[in-house]
A and B are shown apart, each in its own frame.
Chain A
Amino acid sequence: MKMNGARIMVEMLKREGVKAVFGYPGGTVIDLYDVLLETDDISHTLVRHEQGAAHAADGYARTTGKVGVCIATSGPGATNLVTGLTNAYMDSVPLVAITGQVPTRLIGKDSFQEADTTGITMPITKHNFLVTHVEELTTVVRQAFHIASTGRPGPVLIDLPKDVQGAETEFVYPEKVDIHSYKPTYRGHARQTILAARAIRDAQRPLFYLGGGVISSGATAELFEVAEKCNIPVTYTLMGKGSFPETHPLALGWLGMHGTYSANKAVMECDLLIAVGARFDDRVTGNTATFARKARIIHIDIDPAEIGKNVKADYPIVGDAKKVIHEINKKLEPSKKDEWLATIKKWKNEYSPPRRNGEILLPSRVVEEVYRLTRGKAVVVTDVGQHQMWAAQIYKVDHPRSWASSGGLGTMGYGLPAAVGAQTGNPSSTVVLFSGDGSILMKVQELVTAVNYRLPIKIFVLNNCYLGMVRQWQECFYDGRYSCTHLENPDLAGVARAFGAEALTVEKAEELEGAVKKAMSVKDRPTLVDCRVASDENVLPFVPPGKSLDEMILG
């Protein structure tokens, strides 16, 4: 059948199993939107800023495991996607972004709303395509989804000129997708796997260090089995939250700059560190020279370039975490680590972050109360700042894909649109967003998106009247010179109501329970709870940048 490019694009999205897309129209994507109008099996969410479309697709992808799709027009629409694409690239989230482009004959002429989208997004996408002939389109879309979702996942962009959307060709679905220069390695090297299993068997003080790769690979069950069978304690990164049940006795919480005391201690004392789908980010390692200095390191990752990039591995294994752990598991016998686990238990009991008494509403209290009243079962999304750290420390996540937070890029404003995506993909789950008074205003317009689509997101703003994370650095490293971090905020509940959301303000700890319950009871629109928390709380423990993980500031 003959179809035009716009129709082919939508037909291909359907064939890729796409159910939801997020976007914002404009001159060069009108043809595409015209087809979407009569497409029932794909829901389109109209956001209010293209950055929101990218973050929403990202939140959708992280919490469903499917590829997230976003659409923007050429020029400013495409450039507005840039932060969202970078965010997804840093956290290896599978996205397909479709951008309109000026007609091919106008490309390179500085035409109206022309931007070099493929040039701009080259370093922030896994790959991108500029489609100049409608005949290539089916293959390009097929390859885009394949590249986005296989190997180490990531965002892929398709730039689609307006005339290509209008041009007609015979629709032929490419049954096979084969890119001969792209063949990710899934099976681990057999000999390396044997050596790694032997190292695990011989270790006295092994420790798992799990990253987001465990979740993308779907390796949680395999890891759970090994950890329990061999009594190996587990720490994880911000991206790895949910890769192992956090309420399990073997879980130590996350590691790094604001990681737990016991996790950081364990890293420094372990004799074998088993890194799976993690990339030794500087926020995790602190000083790499001392990081895990007593340990031999097994590093399992699907991206060969991660191995040896920041820290040298003694047992590098390139492969898919699920397959590699499955192979290693076959070579392991059950074992006990009583002494090591006793030491870890001691560390767990030895320290918890100091806590003020008194009237004042502490940010940690808010997270605790939400955790208690959602019984730890919510899909949790965060923004970026202190509140993100408290959410990560306190809200224990037991299942993969129940946590979405901007890790690598640390993008303030990620939270609200990502929550829109998460709720769209998980309509029957309770979606909770922890945000800050700074972050929420970066993408506050997406409140109306949540209202329009009746998304019952529960938003808790830990409102400390500060860019708290920066304030903390100013306090600790700049003699308390608080330059430009105090915020004169509008009444956030009033703002939320104006958008059509439910809203509450909480000033005292005793009002919390009622407010959380109220938020939980609202089913047809978002609820924003403005929690007026203490301004001067610091996130602890705190490993100053570049220091060793055992140089934590504890209180």
Chain B
Amino acid sequence: MQHVISVLVENRPRVLARVASLFARRGYNIESLAVGPTHNPSVSRITLAVRGDEDILEQITKQLYKLIDVIKVGDFTEINFVDRELALIKVSAPAANRSEIIQITEVFRARVVDVGERNLMIEVTGPPAKIDALQQLLKKYGILELTRTGRIALARGAQAL
């Protein structure tokens, strides 16, 4: 099953390399990775989506904690959380298809952010499943380019990871 884990790290050079190298060395698969600052300038958050059973997740967590720069590791899967991903999708849109594509975009509460002669760029945020669904629908019109940020997440309510 897919787990979304949050890794709070010291905001130091090479810390991302340390985390990535650990995953590579131990043979864990990263499905997505997002990294950025937190409200505390000395701390960054790495959000990882990984696949594995309980035992693998436990190993990943413990191995991450062994990195000196890792402050806190949490598995969102065990708690109530909000997760989001952002995607930019450039889709082929000749006049014949254009309005249909815009309609789909609206249903998904996505936005058209760039209009070209024969293409549109769509921005969509939401849980990864929503983005998957939109991507699936747009496929038949011809996706020209696509980029996704990877999942980020926060715990709901007062809880914090």
Given the interface contacts A181-B71, A308-B58, A309-B59, does A130 sit within 8 Å of B66 by beta carbon?
no
Contact B14 A304 (CB under 8 A): no
What chain A residues lie within 8 Å of B17 (beta carbons)?
119, 122
Whose C-beta in chain A lies nearest to the C-beta of B10?
A181
Residues on B facing A (Cβ under 8 Å): 10, 13-14, 17-18, 21-22, 25, 55, 58-59, 62-63, 65-66, 68-71
Provide the A107-134 mask, 1 if CB < 8 A to any CB of B, else 0: 0000000000011001100110010000
Contact A305 B66 (CB under 8 A): yes
Whose C-beta in chain B lies nearest to the C-beta of A119?
B17
Contact A305 B59 (CB under 8 A): yes
Whose C-beta in chain B lies nearest to the C-beta of A303?
B66
Instruction: Output the least CB separation between A124 and chain B (Å).
Output: 10
Task: Please report the C-alpha to C-alpha distance between residue A253 and residue B55 in the assembled complex, in whole angstroms.
Answer: 32
Provide the A234-245 mask, 1 if CB < 8 A to any CB of B, else 0: 000000000000
Instruction: Output the least CB separation between B20 and chain A (Å).
Output: 10
Among A126, A181, A309, which residue has its beta carbon within 8 angstroms of that of B70? A181
What chain A residues lie within 8 Å of B65 (beta carbons)?
304-305
Among B14, B55, B68, which residue has its beta carbon within 8 angstroms of that of A118? B14
Contact B68 A304 (CB under 8 A): no
Instruction: Output the least CB separation between A307 and chain B (Å).
Output: 8
A147 CB-CB contact with B under 8 Å: yes
Provide the A494-535 mask, 1 if CB < 8 A to any CB of B, else 0: 000000000000000000000000000000000000000000
Task: Please report the C-alpha to C-alpha distance between residue A179 and residue B71 in the assembled complex, in whole angstroms.
Answer: 10
Contact A147 B68 (CB under 8 A): yes
Given the interface contacts A308-B55, A308-B58, does A180 sit within 8 Å of B71 by beta carbon?
yes
| Closest A-B pairs by Cβ, 3 of them | A305-B62, A127-B68, A181-B71
Among B13, B21, B55, B70, which residue has its beta carbon within 8 angstroms of that of A130? B13
Task: Please report the C-alpha to C-alpha distance between residue A38 and residue B70 in the assembled complex, in whole angstroms.
Answer: 40
Q: List 12 A-B contacts (CB under 8 A).
A: A118-B14, A122-B17, A122-B21, A123-B21, A123-B22, A126-B68, A181-B69, A181-B70, A304-B62, A305-B59, A305-B63, A305-B65
Whose C-beta in chain B lies nearest to the C-beta of A123?
B25
Task: Please report the C-alpha to C-alpha distance between residue A147 and residue B67 in the assembled complex, in whole angstroms.
Answer: 11
Q: How large is the interface on A (under 10, 10 to 19, 20 to 34, 35 or more residues)?
A: 10 to 19
Given the interface contacts A130-B13, A305-B62, A308-B55, does A182 sit within 8 Å of B68 by beta carbon?
yes
Provide the A176-202 mask, 1 if CB < 8 A to any CB of B, else 0: 000111100000000000000000000
Residues on A facing B (Cβ under 8 Å): 118-119, 122-123, 126-127, 130, 147, 179-182, 303-305, 307-309
Instruction: Output the least CB separation between A101 and chain B (Å).
Output: 14
Instruction: Output the least CB separation between A141 and chain B (Å).
Output: 15
Contact A122 B62 (CB under 8 A): no
Instruction: Output the least CB separation between A52 and chain B (Å).
Output: 27
Task: Please report the C-alpha to C-alpha distance between residue A151 and residue B41 in the assembled complex, in whole angstroms.
Answer: 28
What chain A residues lie within 8 Å of B68 (beta carbons)?
126-127, 147, 179, 181-182
- Besides the contacts A182-B68, A305-B65, what 7 more A-B pairs have beta carbons closer than 8 Å? A122-B18, A123-B25, A147-B68, A304-B62, A305-B59, A308-B58, A309-B59
What chain B residues lie within 8 Å of A122 (beta carbons)?
14, 17-18, 21
Task: Please report the C-alpha to C-alpha distance between residue A429 and residue B21 in the assembled complex, in whole angstroms.
Answer: 42
Whose C-beta in chain A lies nearest to the C-beta of B58?
A308
- In this complex, which of B13, B62, B69 has the most chain A Cβ atoms within 10 angstroms of its Cβ? B62
Task: Please report the C-alpha to C-alpha distance between residue A77 and residue B71 in the assembled complex, in whole angstroms.
Answer: 33
Task: Please report the C-alpha to C-alpha distance between residue A130 and residue B68 in the assembled complex, in whole angstroms.
Answer: 14
Instruction: Output the least CB separation between A449 and chain B (Å).
Output: 33
Instruction: Output the least CB separation between A182 and chain B (Å).
Output: 5
Instruction: Output the least CB separation between A368 and chain B (Å).
Output: 42
What chain B residues lie within 8 Å of A304 (beta carbons)?
62, 65
Task: Please report the C-alpha to C-alpha distance between residue A385 and residue B21 in the assembled complex, in whole angstroms.
Answer: 31
Task: Please report the C-alpha to C-alpha distance between residue A179 and residue B59 in the assembled complex, in whole angstroms.
Answer: 23
What chain B residues lie within 8 Å of A180 (beta carbons)?
71
What chain A residues lie within 8 Å of B59 (beta carbons)?
305, 308-309
What chain A residues lie within 8 Å of B71 (beta carbons)?
180-181
Instruction: Output the least CB separation between A465 and chain B (Å).
Output: 38
Instruction: Output the least CB separation between B60 and chain A (Å).
Output: 10
What chain B residues lie within 8 Å of A182 (beta carbons)?
68
What chain A residues lie within 8 Å of B21 (beta carbons)?
122-123
Task: Please report the C-alpha to C-alpha distance between residue A130 and residue B18 in the assembled complex, in whole angstroms.
Answer: 14
Instruction: Output the least CB separation between A316 and chain B (Å).
Output: 11
What chain B residues lie within 8 Å of A123 (beta carbons)?
21-22, 25
Instruction: Output the least CB separation between B142 and chain A (Å).
Output: 41
Task: Please report the C-alpha to C-alpha distance between residue A74 and residue B76 in the assembled complex, in whole angstroms.
Answer: 43
Instruction: Output the least CB separation between A219 and chain B (Å).
Output: 21
What chain A residues lie within 8 Å of B14 (beta carbons)?
118-119, 122, 130
Task: Please report the C-alpha to C-alpha distance between residue A19 and residue B21 in the assembled complex, in whole angstroms.
Answer: 35
What chain A residues lie within 8 Å of B22 (beta carbons)?
123
Whose C-beta in chain B lies nearest to the C-beta of A127?
B68
Task: Please report the C-alpha to C-alpha distance between residue A517 and residue B63 in the assembled complex, in whole angstroms.
Answer: 50
- In this complex, which of B59, B63, B66 has the most chain A Cβ atoms within 10 angstroms of its Cβ? B66
What chain A residues lie within 8 Å of B10 (beta carbons)?
181
Whose C-beta in chain B lies nearest to the C-beta of A318?
B62
Instruction: Output the least CB separation between A317 and chain B (Å).
Output: 14
Instruction: Output the least CB separation between B14 and chain A (Å).
Output: 7
Instruction: Output the least CB separation between B161 and chain A (Å).
Output: 15
Instruction: Output the least CB separation between A143 and chain B (Å).
Output: 8
Task: Please report the C-alpha to C-alpha distance between residue A314 and residue B68 in the assembled complex, in whole angstroms.
Answer: 28
